[in-house]
Amino acid sequence: QVQLVESGGGSVQAGGSLRLACAASQLNFYSEHCMGWFRQAPGEEREGVAFITTGYGSTAYADSVKGRFTISQDHAKSTVFLQMNSLKPEDTAMYYCAANRGCLYGLRDRRGYQYWGRGTQVTVSS
């Protein structure tokens, strides 16, 4: 049973940085799985922000965060990180970590993400 626990959220001024972490239990990062960060703001749909394949480290980003956010992983600790720089007020949202065992449907397709964390709030003030 895969469990995901996010941490690192908080409140920051525009232009600041935050580093989120997602600890995954019962998921071997030395095998090929997909991990993703999603976010959802009030009144908006949940969107994929950043993705990584655990086995090879391939990454993908939403256009809105490309160049500002970086996803990475620690294989030994089965942990995924999201470094968020140059934060903007529009980045304010609940951020969720999700896991796709075996990368079913591919890296970006939400259908494959069966396991979800409870989320961590990120608030960016102007």
pLDDT digit string (tens) for 1-47?
Answer: 899 999 999 999 999 999 999 999 999 999 999 999 999 999 999 99
For residue 67, give both structure tokens: 């160049």
Are residues 42 and 22 in contact, defined by beta-carbon separation less than 8 angstroms?
A: no
pLDDT score recorded for residue 1: 87
Other Cβ atoms closer than 10 A to 50: 26
pLDDT score recorded for residue 42: 93
Whole-number Å distance between alpha carbons of 33 and 12: 32
Question: What are the pLDDT digits (tens) for 95-126?
Answer: 999 999 999 999 999 999 999 999 999 999 99
